[in-house]
Every structure is written in structure tokens, then in C-alpha cells.
């Protein structure tokens, strides 16, 4: 079963800047009239807390996402429960019914959607050979122009990589 809405994944190890990047992308896209939804993998184990005050999903919403969600231990924080657990496709099928143009997924490294990988150190470059569908790498260190044949930017070059992401996504909202 495929997903009919455009999906962009943001992946990387813990504390690599995924939420910060999602927030920047959501803000940029929503300011240009694109209706963005986000979906985050709750990687800390257990059921997500009911309140998201001060949490990543609240940051996504504050940045302009019209829908946010968090999944952990079979709970999708749209207050929907599934005792056998949620797959990314199950969750995105719910999002497809909402008035959105794009879903940005934070986490779910192994999923088959186009992804941006955040790399804190050269050791993290192993992700580039372990994952599929990588369209961009953003490094916390001065990178080569291409890592594993993927366009690569330095984390502080916000305007350059946000422009690249905007160009990459152009035409996927129609």
C-alpha cells in the first residue's frame, strides 16, 4: 500500500538536530503557504505523555505545522490507540485524510521515503551506507561537497540547505 501525500523524512542519531531542522523546514514551507504536517517517532520508549507542552510536537506546531503527531509503544498521539502497534504507513494513511500538502516524518530511519540525514560526526557517516532513499546530508563538521554521492551541507549553512530543500520539494505539492 503506497502513500499518496509527499513525505520527507528527517533522520539521524539522538541529539543530531532533527527537531530543530524539522522546525526550520516547517516554518519556511508554511510561510510560503504549504500546509505541512509532522510525525515524530517517540524514540525514548514507553507511551508518550498526554501533554506536549515544551515537547518537540509543540515546537512543530508553533513553527506552523497544522497537524502534529507522536508515536510510541502503540500509541499515536492523536489519541488513537492500536493494541498491535502502529506502522508508519498506518499513521500516514490517517494524515492522507487531512488537508495537508506534505508530511515531514522525524525518525523511522528504515522507512522507504526520501530522507535527509543529520551527521554529528564522521562516525555517523555509517548511516549513509545503512539507509536507503537519502537525498541530502547535513553535517555538524565541515563536509565534503558530496558524501556517498549525496549533496551535503554544513549545519550552519541554513539558507543554502533550506533553499536546496525548497527546490527539491518544488512541484510535489500539486
Write the DSSP assignment of 113-152 as a string of letters.
S-EEEEESSGGGGHHHHH-SSEEEEEESS---SEETTEEE
Give φ, ψ of 94 to 5 degrees. -65, -45
User: What domains can you pick out in the chain, each with its CATH number?
Assistant: 7-169 (3.40.50.300)
| Mean pLDDT of all residues in 109-134 | 95
CB contact at 8 A, 112 and 133? yes
**Least confidently predicted of 29-38, 71-80, 81-90:** 71-80
Alpha helices by DSSP H, 96-157: 126-130
What are the percentages of helix, strand and coil residues in the chain, rounded to 5?
30, 25, 45
User: What does the pLDDT read at residue 42?
Assistant: 66
User: What does the pLDDT read at residue 79?
Assistant: 42
81 pLDDT more than 60: no
The model scores a pTM over 0.85:
no
Query: Distance (Å, rounded) from C-alpha 90 to C-alpha 143?
Result: 36
Q: What angle do CA 155, 160, 165 make, to 5 degrees?
A: 95
Q: Hunting for cell 540547505 — which residue is that?
A: 161
**pLDDT band at 71; cut points 50, 70, 90:** confident
Amino acid at each position: 500500500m503506497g502513500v499518496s501525500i509527499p513525505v520527507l523524512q528527517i533522520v539521524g542519531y539522538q541529539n543530531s538536530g532533527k527537531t530543530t531542522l524539522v522546525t526550520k523546514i516547517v516554518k519556511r514551507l508554511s510561510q510560503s503557504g504549504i500546509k505541512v504536517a509532522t510525525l515524530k517517532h517517540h524514540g525514548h520508549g514507553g507511551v508518550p505523555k498526554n501533554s506536549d507542552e515544551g515537547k518537540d510536537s509543540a515546537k512543530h506546531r508553533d513553527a506552523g505545522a497544522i497537524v502534529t503527531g507522536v508515536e510510541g509503544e502503540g500509541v499515536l498521539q492523536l489519541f488513537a490507540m492500536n493494541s498491535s502497534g502502529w506502522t508508519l504507513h498506518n499513521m500516514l494513511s490517517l494524515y492522507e485524510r487531512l488537508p495537508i500538502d506534505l508530511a515531514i516524518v522525524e525518525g523511522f530511519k528504515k522507512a522507504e521515503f526520501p530522507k535527509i540525514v543529520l551527521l554529528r560526526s564522521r562516525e555517523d557517516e555509517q548511516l549513509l551506507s545503512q539507509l536507503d532513499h537519502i537525498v541530502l546530508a547535513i553535517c555538524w563538521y565541515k563536509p565534503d561537497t558530496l558524501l556517498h554521492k549525496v549533496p551535503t551541507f554544513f549545519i550552519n549553512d541554513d539558507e543554502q540547505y533550506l533553499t536546496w530543500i525548497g527546490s527539491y520539494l518544488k512541484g510535489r505539492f500539486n
